[in-house]
Amino acid sequence: MLLFKIILILIALYYLFYLGFRYVFPWLLKRYIRKTQEKFYGKSSQQGKSKKQKKEGQVNIDFVPEDDKTKKDGDLGEYVDYEEIED
């Protein structure tokens, strides 16, 4: 009789895991993905609304690079004049 109970418990556990992975796990995964997508698209749509609406063809430059001439002139060091020596 004890062996029969153990077999029934194992069969019941097998079906619980089977049904859980077959129906519950995909449902939980879909729910998680949906919530993550809502978070992502919700944040991006809020950022778009807060910015000013641009007219078509309008160009904005957000980044202005530093002047390269001042960097290069300062880093070159001192100029040394040289003469070629013939052997």
| Tens digits of residue pLDDT in 26-85 | 999 999 999 999 988 886 555 555 456 778 888 887 887 776 655 555 566 777 888 888
Residue 15 CB-half CA count within 13 A: 5
- Residue 85 phi, psi (nearest 5): -110, 130
0.85 cut: is pTM over it?
Answer: no
Q: How confident is the model at residue 47, as a pLDDT?
A: 53
Residue 48 CB-half CA count within 13 A: 6
Helix, strand, or coil here: 36? helix
Q: How confident is the model at residue 76, as a pLDDT?
A: 66
Q: For residues 54 and 60, is the Cβ–Cβ distance under 8 A?
A: yes
How far apart are alpha carbons 34 and 40 in whole angstroms?
10
